[in-house]
Structure 1
Amino acid sequence: MPVIDTSQDDTSFTVVTEFDAPVERVWELWADARQLERWWGPPGYPATFTRHDFTVPGRSVYWMPGDGDVHPNYAAWSFVDIQPPNALEVDNGFADETGEPVPGFPWNRFSVRLEADGPRTRMTVRVAFGSAAELERMLGYGMREGFLAALSQTDAILAEG
């Protein structure tokens, strides 16, 4: 899964990757909670999805092991738009175990676009925040590096078929 490009503006960052798999197969990485658990979270911090209602206006709730102090363990997604198998928009942020937002932590919106490139798939993920300060805060926690590390786990899942 080569990273083709990364970029950043005042309130967002974008990662473009390419996969040796068709769009429909890459889509399953997002749609299937069991596959998602295997890559959503950097190595050593696997996500466990306790809820994955992959519909609009569905919600997902997951937790990752962590120190529980600097980084709350639970997070949630609120699905804004789903266009199988090419597009997905999700509001994402730290939450309690029921999926309610944790006060004081900004939520972000990530937009996923999958495009066929012959037998390969190009995935563009844009993560947008409400302000430059929110973006900088989350980048300070290592969000971009964690996301890139998480993505590095997808090739093994896709290779299984």
Structure 2
Amino acid sequence: MPVTATTHDLESRTITITADFAAPVERVWQIYADPRQLERTWGPPSHPATFAAHDLTPGGRMHYYLTGPDGEKYFGVWEVRDVDAPNSFTFADGFAADDTYAVNPDLPVGVTTFCFTPNGDGTRMIAVTTYPTVEALQQVLDMGAIEGATQAMAQIDDLLAA
């Protein structure tokens, strides 16, 4: 399992996930730069992702949905802020109510930075998401954000081995 640590900090309103992959930084970066590869790793196995739009450039938007076991869809949108390929990218990650991909103002929006650094023969990825309030952080924790992300990232090893 690639996830080696998960923490949350109510004081700083953050979730931090650390993962190690047996592949160079450039290869791990390709997973996030290619929507078809990202689909195979963004949602947990029970809720696979489909990216309807993918623009990993500053100011770009990513539209996706997760499909649950009974066919229900959960929509999300990334608003890309910064990209330093293949080292890092930052985006606002929000929930959307439907396939218009308008951010749902009733659910939290977190700002996430993924950083990729060489780690021996592989890559260490550190993802930090910051929420605007402690309540927003607690809401996504209660929704299973850490468990879902850990399950999703566990799929990356199989993709890298293919």
TM-score (norm: length of structure 1):
0.93
1:69-111 deviation line (CA, Å, top 9, x unaligned): xx96111000010100001101001113122111301111111
In the alignment, is residue 152 of structure 1 matched against residue 154 of structure 2?
yes
Determine the C-alpha separation between the residues in 2 that align with 1:149 and 1:3: 9
Q: How many Å apart are 1:67 and its aligned residue?
A: 8.3
Determine the C-alpha separation between the residues in 1 that align with 2:78 and 2:19: 22
Residue 79 of structure 2 corresponds to 78
**CA 1:67–1:22 in 2, change beyond 3 Å: closer, same or farther?**
closer
Q: Aligned AA for 1:16?
A: T
Q: Aligned AA for 1:33?
A: P
Determine the C-alpha separation between the residues in 1 that align with 2:3 and 2:45: 17
Aligned alpha-carbon RMSD (Å): 1.6
Paired residues of 2:32 and 2:38 also in contact (CA < 8 A): yes
Residue 20 of structure 1 corresponds to 22
Determine the C-alpha separation between the residues in 1 that align with 2:105 and 2:92: 15
Residue 36 of structure 1 corresponds to 38
Determine the C-alpha separation between the residues in 1 that align with 2:111 and 2:47: 22
Runs of 4+ in 1 over 3 A off after TM superposition: none
Which of the two has greater strand per residue? 2
Determine the C-alpha separation between the residues in 1 that align with 2:62 and 2:152: 18
TM-score (norm: length of structure 2):
0.92
Residue 92 of structure 1 corresponds to 93
| Residue correspondence of structure 1 range 2-151 to structure 2 within 5 A | 2-10=2-10, 11-66=13-68, 73-95=74-96, 96-151=98-153
Paired residues of 2:3 and 2:154 also in contact (CA < 8 A): no
Determine the C-alpha separation between the residues in 2 that align with 1:125 and 1:53: 19
Paired residues of 1:61 and 1:98 also in contact (CA < 8 A): no
Determine the C-alpha separation between the residues in 2 that align with 1:121 and 1:131: 31
Determine the C-alpha separation between the residues in 2 that align with 1:5 and 1:141: 19
Q: Aligned AA for 1:123?
A: M
Determine the C-alpha separation between the residues in 2 that align with 1:6 and 1:27: 21
1:26-45 deviation line (CA, Å, top 9, x unaligned): 00111100000001100121
Q: Aligned AA for 2:76?
A: A
**CA 1:65–1:117 in 2, change beyond 3 Å: closer, same or farther?**
same
Determine the C-alpha separation between the residues in 2 that align with 1:112 and 1:126: 7
Determine the C-alpha separation between the residues in 1 that align with 2:133 and 2:54: 28
User: What count of residue pairs does the alignment treat as equivalent?
Assistant: 158
Percent sequence identity is 39
